[in-house]
Amino acid sequence: MIAIAERINGMFSDVKRAIKKKDPSIICDLAIKQTEAGAKFLDVNVGTAAADQCDAMQWLISVIQEVVKTPICIDSQKLDVVKAGLEVVKSEVLINSCKGEPEELDVYLPLAKKHNASLICLTINKQGVPQDVHARVEIAATIAAKAMEHDFDMTKIFIDPILLPINVDQKQPRYLFEVFNQVKYISDPPPHIVVGLSNFSQGTKERSLLNRTFLTMAIAAGLDSAVMDVLDKDLMDATICAEVILNKHIYSDLFLKAVR
Amino acid sequence: MEVPNVAEKWMGCVRKVTIGATKEQGGTRGNIVTVGGAKSIPYMDFEGEQGCKPVIAMDVLDTVPEDWPDALKEPFKDVLNSPAKWAKKCVEQYGADMVCLKLDSIHPDKGNKSAEEAVATVKSILQAVSVPLIIWGCEHNETDNAVMPKVSQAAKGERCLLAGASQDNYKIIAAVCLADGHCLVTQAPVDINIGKQVNILVSDLGFPLDRIIMFQTTGALGYGMEYVYSIQERERIAALSGDNLLGMPVICNVGYESWRAKEAKASDAEAPQWGSCVERGPMWETITAATLLQSGVDIIRMYHPKAVAAVKKFTQDLA
């Protein structure tokens, strides 16, 4: 599982405060804790905390890179903020995200390629967020075709088929499992599949339980990455357990430790 | 029609482990041995680097092996009562890359010899030969825990390979190997899950993963070889798939296991229909080794010089 740690996000009040005051301590703490918890990438989102988002993104990345070597996931819908982030990242990097719209892909794919970055592509187009399996897979296929056109390494593409909250539309999770299954056959090697996991339980009770149950089912269906709360130990344990059950890791009595 | 490229792309590899230390490195060895480094399954060189060539460690016992058949005793008949001379013959005459001293006689039922005697034997072999040394305990936990620390200390700095750590008995041997700078064999009874577990346990003690050699016990041709083969193959595939805790070189004990088989040790009088025992035993050992090599083996413990020569040629021809 490529766990993308979600906590360094200006939507959280502690991070928002840290960005406003340019106080690195809380950011460093989150970077270290999330890395220790098994994060493969640290998502960095400036939110609405700063007037100058480009500057805030660069500050956050620099602060994080001082304390950990964990690759950064630059999370912004704004191209200039993404570019600002790319200027300061020192190692492997993931861009989060661009829409599955050909014109947008033509901008982001060359940019990612130039920086040797991986790229999260949402199955969203001009018609908005698709509500069924077919439209999602169709956009995923457009993304894969564009990646090939740009000679972009498919193993650096992360398809995000948009996970909606369970209390918005209960039919959606089942649709998504089908999407995971189908996206695996889009190319060889296939792209990664990612979701924003915490969104699934927005506005519900038993959030942790909902998240980890969805995630284990999703892993069985082919999901291999998620933007998630890596500090939720039960969630991380369930993830490892699911992967052992699927024979992705060799079992040992200390398997939770081994995978970490 | 274009022929599709079906070669696997492996993301992991087997760590390289170096055994033996020269004078400059704090030991007294004339040459050292590095094993591991494979980036593809054995002999599939179109998929990735093969790493270091497998090496042969010839067994030397610290006591005269009374139960060996004559065909096996014959090449060593003049040295069986002197481990140092035996080791020298293995290296100088039979081309052993390493020597594996098996401390049989410290076992309570096989001589119950003292740690001091074991230390003296180790020292005599280190003096007699310049190749790296494997020191194998008697596999009686209590005895090994008493003797191996002293043996380890006597060979401090030589970067020997000591055997071994098991799931139920790993703390003392791992600690002394760590303190005295040796490499360590982690052992499991044909069980990949336990094999991984032992590696986790010793690494939890701070033992470095690049000083571990894995041992899944060995089965000879006709006596469980296929089980060992499939476990070792699975270990190698896990290593190449990126499992950090299974990415270690592998040792197997071919000599001892092959010569336990009645097909290897039966005399001509006992089994006249099976062909000459002088050829039969070495062939049994050769076939066991040559087969297991293909599952992913880095160090092969062997007995008979004819088998050693045949397997050496095999590894060189295939490389």
pLDDT value at B107 more than 90: yes
Q: Does A188 touch chain B (CB under 8 A)?
A: no
According to the model, what pLDDT value does residue B2 have? 86
Per-residue pLDDT band at A51 (split at 50, 70, 90)? confident
Q: Which of A243, A237, A239, A242 is nearest to A256 (CA)?
A: A237
For A212-232, the pLDDT digits (tens) are 999 999 999 999 999 999 999
Provide the sign of the torsion angle of the four alpha carbons B53, B59, B60, B62, taken in this order.
Answer: positive
Average pLDDT across chain A, whole number: 95
- Please check whether residue B111 lies inside any domain of the structure: yes
According to the model, what pLDDT value does residue B109 have? 93
Q: Which residues of chain A lie closer than 8 angstroms to B192, CB-CB?
A: 250
Q: Which residues of chain A lie closer than 8 angstroms to B245, CB-CB?
A: 252, 258
pLDDT value at B75 more than 80: yes
Cα distance from B200 to chain A (closest Cα, Å)?
7
% pLDDT > 70, chain A: 100
> Could you check whether the bond before residue A189 is cis, i.e. omega within 30 degrees of 0?
yes
For A141-200, the pLDDT digits (tens) are 999 999 999 999 999 999 999 999 999 999 999 999 999 999 999 998 999 999 999 999
ipTM exceeding cut-off 0.90 for this assembly: no
According to the model, what pLDDT value does residue B68 have? 96
Per-residue pLDDT band at B161 (split at 50, 70, 90)? very high
Residue whose token pair is 């098991």: B166
pLDDT value at B319 more than 80: no
The residues near B70 (Cβ < 8 Å, ≥ 6 apart) are B267
Residue B215's domain comprises 31-318
CB contact under 8 A, B243 and A254: no
- Please check whether residue B161 lies inside any domain of the structure: yes
Fold of A92-260: TIM Barrel (3.20.20)
For B195-251, the pLDDT digits (tens) are 999 999 999 999 999 999 999 999 999 999 999 999 999 999 999 999 999 999 999
Alpha helix (H) residue ranges in B70-170: 70-73, 83-92, 115-128, 141-154
In chain A the beta strands, taken as DSSP E runs, fall at 2-5, 41-44, 72-75, 93-99, 118-122, 157-160, 192-196, 225-228
Q: How far is CA A219 from the centre of its chain?
A: 14
Give the Cα separation of A50 and A57 in Å (integer). Answer: 9
CB contact under 8 A, B234 and A250: yes
CATH code for the domain of B61: 3.20.20.20
A-to-B residue pairs, Cβ atoms closer than 8 angstroms: 26
CB contact under 8 A, A253 and B246: no
pLDDT value at A260 more than 80: no
Which residue in chain B is spatially nearest to A255 when comparing CA positions? B197
Q: Does A185 touch chain B (CB under 8 A)?
A: no
Q: Which residues of chain B lie closer than 8 angstroms to A250, CB-CB?
A: 192-193, 196, 234, 238, 243, 246
According to the model, what pLDDT value does residue B1 have? 81
For B9-44, the pLDDT digits (tens) are 899 999 999 999 999 999 999 999 999 999 999 999
Per-residue pLDDT band at B54 (split at 50, 70, 90)? very high
Question: Which of B5, B166, B193 is the best mutation test for A, with the most CBs of A within 10 A?
Answer: B193
Count of domains forming chain B: 1
Question: Which of B9, B201, B209, B245 is the best mutation test for A, with the most CBs of A within 10 A?
Answer: B245
